[in-house]
Amino acid sequence: MKGPAGNRARTLRRMARRPPRATIHPTAVADPESAAGSGAMIGADATLAAGAILAPYAVVDARCAVGERAIVGAHSIVHHDVTIGAGVQLGSHVVVHPQTVIGRGTVVGDHAVLGKPPRLRVGSAAATGQPLTGLVVGEDATIGAGAVVLASAHIGDRTIVGDQGFVRERSRIGEDSVVGRGSTIDCDVVVGDHVSIQTDVYVTARSTVEDHVFLGPGVLTTNDDRMGRPVRDEDGQLVEGGIELRGAIVRRGARVGGRAVLVPGVEVGADAFVAAGAVVTKDVAPGRRVMGVPARDAGPVPPEDLLD
């Protein structure tokens, strides 16, 4: 083919054989021992430490710091003002929102979203009016494939958030804990250290889960006795702030079996045992077993099963 059309076709073939080079902003600083694949982009004032690798088409925006030997996977997007520690591994298509801090040695699975800001409906009980801070992920943590962890959350050292897990804003998960596949930690939840939260668990907003707790698969906690119905005074007028959300409190070393339900505000005492499928409608005393619907006392936890 001759003429302009032939020239254009030859140009396109040459471009296909020669992938685009990485684009580095003039004010970015990349250590000579770092590397960026074809099509990667590095924004203004960003820094890449020795051994850092940007896979093809990865984007690291302005003022980000990528630590030594960190890997940003193909097609991942790291928004501005993010800190990535040494040895961190981001999988492919990961999105990291602004002001997120990822501690050294943490591994993030493909398609995970970190530091996502929430978007709430008008009048949502989750709104506080306070500005959100950036997400903080500790050292040697694991964020599974497809997991979403929102801004202002805190994930402790060596903690695992499983594939497709969801952790909302202002929640804190301690060290050496596990959040199983598909489980949700709602907003304003505190989870302690060495906690085991199994698959498909829902920990509702404003709950507390202390150290060494076990929540079996499918455990469900609730926090709204009125189930969304507004509170009205004797004249029928809406009472502002009338719905009090009260999450569950699960004390140190308690164990809750699969598919158990904890109604709003109940407290499961230290070392207590809730049988699978139980519906807990009142507080469980420390060191006691309960079972049934509604849950009833079934005697003490055997001494050999106590945490201490």
- In this prediction, residue 125 carries a pLDDT of 65
Q: Report yes or no on whether pTM surpasses 0.85.
A: yes
What does each C-alpha distance from 33 to 25, 53, 65, 205 come to in angstroms? 18, 9, 15, 46
Supply the pLDDT for residue 232. Answer: 74
Residue 212 pLDDT:
98
Q: What is the mean pLDDT for each group of 10 consecutive residues in the chain (308 residues)?
A: 64 60 94 94 97 97 98 98 98 98 98 93 67 95 98 98 98 98 97 98 98 98 82 70 83 98 97 98 98 97 91
Given this model, what pLDDT does residue 239 score? Answer: 67
- pLDDT at res. 24: 94
For residue 143, what are its two tokens? Answer: 């964020």
Domains of the chain plus CATH, in order, are: 8-117+132-170 (2.160.10.10), 200-226+246-308 (2.160.10.10)
pLDDT, position 18: 59
Q: What per-residue confidence (pLDDT) applies to 119? A: 83
**First vs last Cα of the chain: how many Å apart?**
83
